[in-house]
Structure 1
Amino acid sequence: MAATMLGMSMGGKAQPNDLDKRRVERALKTRRRYRYVEPAVQPVPGGYRIESACCSRNIDPDGGIVDIALLLFDEEQGQWDLFRKDHGKGLWAWDCRHARLSAVLDVLTFDEHRKFWQ
């Protein structure tokens, strides 16, 4: 098998991976809110955490780095879960689930109700 020849495990975790990380990074460049800050995409077990400088000062008056979103892939269901940060409680709040990463990224980059880019 090609994957075995490349030293990859056939039973390995699908996320995070470099290809999808780059897809997330590219999608974030098309977002509608706070385009003048550069968010960072951090790999986490099962997906990606997005963080950015708090330029609105709504969450961090000093403009420090804050969590924006958490994208986790459910391998059993083959679905992506998107979470937003409830900064008041310091917890991740589930927002939506989609089969395709591109659909989750559309929700995140459009963010009509400012649930992510606060």
Structure 2
Amino acid sequence: MQAAVAETPRPRAPSHPNEFDLVRIRRGLEARVRYRYVTPRVSGVDGGYLIQSPCCSRNIDAQGGIIDVALMLFDGVSGVWQLFARDHERGTWELAGVHPRLVEMIGEINSDPERVFWQ
């Protein structure tokens, strides 16, 4: 009788952030409805992506400095994207939605009818 030998699972490299999705997000944001005259920054963070932008409305930063717009994190266990909006008064991230695909999440950020992201 042969004994089964279990191999120790090899740790996987995190799938996010990656250059391919950084480009997809940057291109996707070009279709946004609000603040089309500014250039948002998209940067990789542990497990996802952070979108920042100059504050043109001066509602959050009177000097028009760079503010957080959205945080997108991929949950590798459930395979869904979590989208967070910044609560600038509290200094916290608030869950704004859960999406199965990145393109749907970008669509929510772009339309933003409630002005939760582009404030």
Q: Same fold (TM over 0.5)?
A: yes
State the number of aligned residues.
110
> In the alignment, what sits opposite 1:86?
87
State yes or no: 1:27 paired with 2:28.
yes
Which one has a bigger Cα radius of gyration? 2
Question: How do residues 94-113 of structure 1 correspond to structure 2 at under 5 angstroms?
Answer: 94-113=95-114
Identify if the C-alpha distance between structure 1 residues 23 and 10 changes in structure 2 by more than 3 Å, giving closer, same or farther.
farther
Shift in Å, 1:104: 0.5
| Alpha-carbon distance between aligned partners in 2 of 1:87 and 1:10, rounded to the nearest angstrom | 36
| Alpha-carbon distance between aligned partners in 2 of 1:10 and 1:88, rounded to the nearest angstrom | 39
The gaps in structure 2 that reach 5 residues or longer are 1-9
State yes or no: 1:115 paired with 2:116.
yes
Question: How do residues 38-77 of structure 1 correspond to structure 2 at under 5 angstroms?
Answer: 38-77=39-78
Structure 2 length-normalised TM: 0.90
| Alpha-carbon distance between aligned partners in 1 of 2:12 and 2:62, rounded to the nearest angstrom | 45
TM superposition outliers: structure 1 runs of 4+ over 2 Å = none
Identity over aligned pairs, percent: 47
Shift in Å, 1:28: 0.7
The gaps in structure 1 that reach 5 residues or longer are 1-8
Shift in Å, 1:10: 7.7
Structure 1 length-normalised TM: 0.91
